[in-house]
Structure 1
Amino acid sequence: MSLIRRGMGIACALVLSAAAASAEELVSYDIVDGTIPKSLTGVAGDPDAGRAAMIDRKLGNCIACHTAEALADQPFHGDVGPPLDGVADRWDQAALRLIIVNAKNVYDGTIMPAFYRNEGFVRVGSEFKGKSILTAQQVEDVVAYLMTLKD
């Protein structure tokens, strides 16, 4: 197994098993034209909280797979996913929300985990069953932070 493949597996395992959001009823949402147009919470996301979730190795752990100049103070960026620099110039909030909620709805075969899903996983530890990785508000916070990443 190559180091890249093994590294991807480790990064995904960390994201999926390190810390799931507390068991909660997931907010229902509609996918419209490849986006989730409405906020999951009706509350604006907090970019600072979103940044914190993204760099938290036991939560979002986005930097395990992505690079971003704005997060250069954090060690060990991965390069499996696309760079996040300029992400707000490439997608709007609604598109980013769907990518965070479940990237598999956008990119067939992606290894990016579904951050707001609580069922349909394979080999999930009992302490994580029925839990999403991020809460609805954390999804909104991450989207708010990503919207600050412009070229």
Structure 2
Amino acid sequence: MTILLRGRYALLGLALLGLVACGSAAKDSEVGVFAGVPTTVPVASTGGSSTGDAAAGKAIFDGTTAIAGSPPCLSCHVVEAGKPQTVGPNLAGIADRAATRVASQDASQYLHSSIVDPNSFVVDGFAQGLMFAGYGDALTPQQVDDVVAYLLSLK
């Protein structure tokens, strides 16, 4: 088998692994620390005055609130410091890093665009096209704001 063919099989295997994990919701202890974080965080992602609900965003992130046709974020991302990353980057501390990723975007804008257009900026070490690209269609604007609020709580 050529190296290119092996790489394709490896990528296919990772994608299938992510799909298998889609049906499982994790416990808080498996998702990361969430206690003591306000449940509403202002989110400027849509340019409006909406706010995201971090608790609702966590439920979307971990799959407790299922989004038809979409894998939960937890199937590819971990949010606990020190845990090895899986398919995508470990998001522990993303609230602090997000504001430094793209010069023209604050943390909220960066996270929003990463959800609805995941190929607009790809973190070093990860392949373009790896993240599920349908969240912009599958999630309502409020649900995107909720996930952003949850991610902003991960300091």
Give TM-score scaled by structure 2 length.
0.59
Q: Aligned-pair distance for 1:41?
A: 5.6
1:93 aligns with 2:97: no
Q: Following TM superposition, by how much is the alpha carbon of 1:39 offset from its aligned partner in structure 2, in angstroms?
A: 2.1
Q: 1:136 to 1:5 in 2, by over 3 A?
A: same
CA distance in structure 1 between the partners assigned to 2:46 and 2:111 by the alignment: 11
The aligned amino acid for 2:93 is: G
Maintained 8 Å contact 1:54/1:142: yes
Deviation at 1:114, TM superposition (A): 2.4
Q: Which runs of 5+ in 1 are unaligned?
A: 16-36, 118-131
Q: Within 5 Å, give how 1:1-151 maps onto structure 2.
A: 1-2=9-10, 5-11=12-18, 38-39=45-46, 42-56=49-63, 58-59=66-67, 61-69=72-80, 79-91=86-98, 92-107=107-122, 109-117=128-136, 132-150=137-155
Superposed displacement of residue 140, structure 1 = 0.3
Structure-2 separation of matches of 1:144 and 1:109: 25
Contact 2:77 2:85 in 1 (8 A): yes
Question: How many residues matched?
Answer: 109
Q: 1:84 is aligned with what amino acid?
A: L
- 1:12–1:111 CA contact under 8 A, matched in 2: no
Query: If you compute each CA radius of gyration, which structure gives the higher value, 1 or 2?
Result: 2
Q: Is the 8 A contact 2:78 2:86 kept in 1?
A: yes
Percent of paired sites with the same residue: 34
What whole-Å deviation, never above 9, does each CA across 1:76-114 have from its counterpart, x for those lacking one? x97010001000010111111100111111127231122
Bigger relative CO (Cα 8 Å, ≥ 6 apart): 1
Distance in 2, matches of 1:68 and 1:139, equals 18
Equivalent pair of 1:40/1:140 in contact (CA under 8 Å): no
Kindly tell me: are residues 41 and 12 of structure 1, through their superposed partners in 2, closer, same or farther at Cα, counting changes over 3 Å? farther
RMSD: 3.0
- TM (norm. structure 1) is 0.60
